[in-house]
Amino acid sequence: MASRNWIDLAQDADTGIETIRAHFRGHAYDPHWHDSYLIGVTEQGVQQFSCRQQRHISTPGQVFMLEPGEIHDGTAPSAEGFTYSMLYLDPQWLERELHALFEQAPAACQPGFASTLLGDAPLAQATLQAFQALHGNELRIVRQTALDGLLAQMTAHLHWRQTSQLDPRLPLVAQRARDYLHAHVHDDIGLDDLARVSGVDRFRLSRAFKAAFGMAPHAYLIQLRLAKARHLLARGETPAQVASALGFADQSHLGRWFRRAYQLTPADYRKRCTNHPD
């Protein structure tokens, strides 16, 4: 029998945008987050996922949009599974392009997605056209035209918020702990370290952190390291080098977590992004 799941991944050299077309049956991936903006289209089947404390059901032709840091999972509730095409948009690239193309984009603000799941046929078509142009490595002018078309369709679903380190919707305790994790991502961090900088005991810290970010501090730290691992692997560093740099016990430890989050091994991801052999 053919493999239940498959992933076809590529990276655009000019923009750094990753394009992924994948098929999953049953459980697709554990809760995780990315440091990119995600926009994709469900092509076939039913895609079920949780995000923003809601359960979403995406059917063929629907567009899903996720902001950096938004925790989501994935599963196929029906036997035939689901297929989707998706783009990972670098935040700096997206903000730069939006400010360059659209004069109404406010200064000192960052874009966000008003909705997670949309039934917007023109946006779905623009997403698939951008995916096909980048994934197929079309002429640069074709790729740029397709991306401009995608940005134009996305603007109807964007909202802008003031760029700030602090989010008034989240408890300060959890945000202090998160900032500490980002600043010490390479270190062997303990809950007592996070409790100390947050000013509460570690039990209250753990409850506040999970309520704010949807996962425990240790799981968040692993996701943070995995996001950084993707960047290092895409630059050509070996899985062994990445595991050592990011505080994983060894290459196998990195590999186990990487596969659970992305359904790819670190070596396979590196090869698809760089064309370097394993």
Q: Are residues 238 and 213 in the same domain?
A: yes
The DSSP secondary structure of the chain, one letter per residue, reads: ---S-EEEEEE-TTT--EEEEEEE-SEEEEEE--SSEEEEEEEEE-EEEEETTEEEEE-TT-EEEE-TT--EEEE-SSTT-EEEEEEEE-HHHHHHHHHHH-TTSPTTEEEEES-SEE--HHHHHHHHHHHHHHHTT--HHHHHHHHHHHHHHHGGGEEEEE--S--TTS-HHHHHHHHHHHHTTTS---HHHHHHHHTS-HHHHHHHHHHHHSS-HHHHHHHHHHHHHHHHHHTT--HHHHHHHTT-SSHHHHHHHHHHHHSS-HHHHHHHHH----
pLDDT digits (tens, 9 = 90+) for 22-78: 999 999 988 888 999 999 999 999 999 999 889 999 999 999 999 998 989 999 999
- What's the whole-number mean pLDDT along residues 185-195? 92
pLDDT mean across residues, the chain: 90
Are 222 and 257 a contacting pair, CB within 8 Å? Answer: yes
Count of structural domains, the chain: 2
Q: Are residues 147 and 180 in the same domain?
A: no
167 belongs to a structural domain: no
> What CATH number does residue 57 fall under?
2.60.120.280
Encoding tokens for residue 214? 């949807």
**Which of 128, 143, 162 lies at the terminal end of a domain, its last residue?**
162
- What's the whole-number mean pLDDT along residues 12-24? 94
Encoding tokens for residue 164? 């700030």
Task: Please state at what angle helix 217-234 crosses helix 202-213, rounded to 10 degrees.
Answer: 60
Q: Are residues 156 and 54 in the same domain?
A: yes
What pTM value is reported for the model?
0.84
Encoding tokens for residue 241? 């080098």
pLDDT value, residue 139: 97
Q: Are residues 44 and 145 in the same domain?
A: yes
Give one word for 176, left, alpha or beta, with left for phi > 0 and alpha for psi -120 to 50: alpha
Q: Which amino acid is at 185?
A: V
Range of the domain at 223: 172-274
pLDDT at 249 over 80: yes
| CA nearest neighbour of 273 among 100, 20, 1, 40 | 20
| Confidence grade of residue 2 (pLDDT, cut at 50, 70, 90) | very low
